[in-house]
Amino acid sequence: MASLFKDPSKLSAYRDRRFKGTQEEYEATLHASTTLYIGNMSFYTTEEQAYELFSRAGEIKKIIMGLDKNSKTPCGFCFVLYYSREDAEDAVKYISGTMLDDRPIRVDFDWGFEEGRQWGRGRSGGQVVP
């Protein structure tokens, strides 16, 4: 049966290589996290646009825009940190797959933001590897 909303209890198969721990620790961290990774964003989407959309799910602690490490311009992703797990789950459930700046965005739980993760990891400094 098709589902209109994303199930927040089902985790993405993606595993961040920077996480230092076992797969079980990684999954436990994701199940408790209030941090979301937002992907497939337009390079022109502003922090204000992201805030306007994601604040509909609950109170936001912080938004960190992903930046090209060379040009310091947005490169198609961001992190959204909520105060509560319930608000983060609502964002995953109701906002994932919706359109933001004419692009369908992907919303997944993240193990938590730390300094340095805001930079694109592509060869040219952004997300895309030319």
In a domain, 24, yes or no: no
Does the structure show a pLDDT above 90 at 101?
yes
pLDDT band at 119 (very low <50, low <70, confident <90, very high): low
Instruction: Tell me which range, 34-38, 67-71, 119-123, is most confidently predicted by mean pLDDT.
Output: 34-38
Q: Decide which of 23 and 101 is more confident.
A: 101
The CATH number given to whatever domain includes residue 70 is 3.30.70.330
Q: What is the mean pLDDT of residues 105-123?
A: 75
Q: What domain count does the chain have?
A: 1
- C-beta atoms surrounding 57 within 10 Å: 21
Structure confidence at residue 12 (pLDDT): 65
Q: 14 in a domain, yes or no? A: no
Q: Is residue 22 part of a domain?
A: no
Residue at 6 is within a domain = no
- Residue 65 lies inside a defined structural domain of this protein: yes
60 falls within a domain:
yes
Domain around 93: 30-97+106-110
Give the contacts of 67 (CB within 8 A, at least 6 positions apart). 73, 74, 75, 118, 119, 120
Q: Which of 46-50, 68-72, 74-78, 96-100 has the lowest mean pLDDT?
A: 68-72
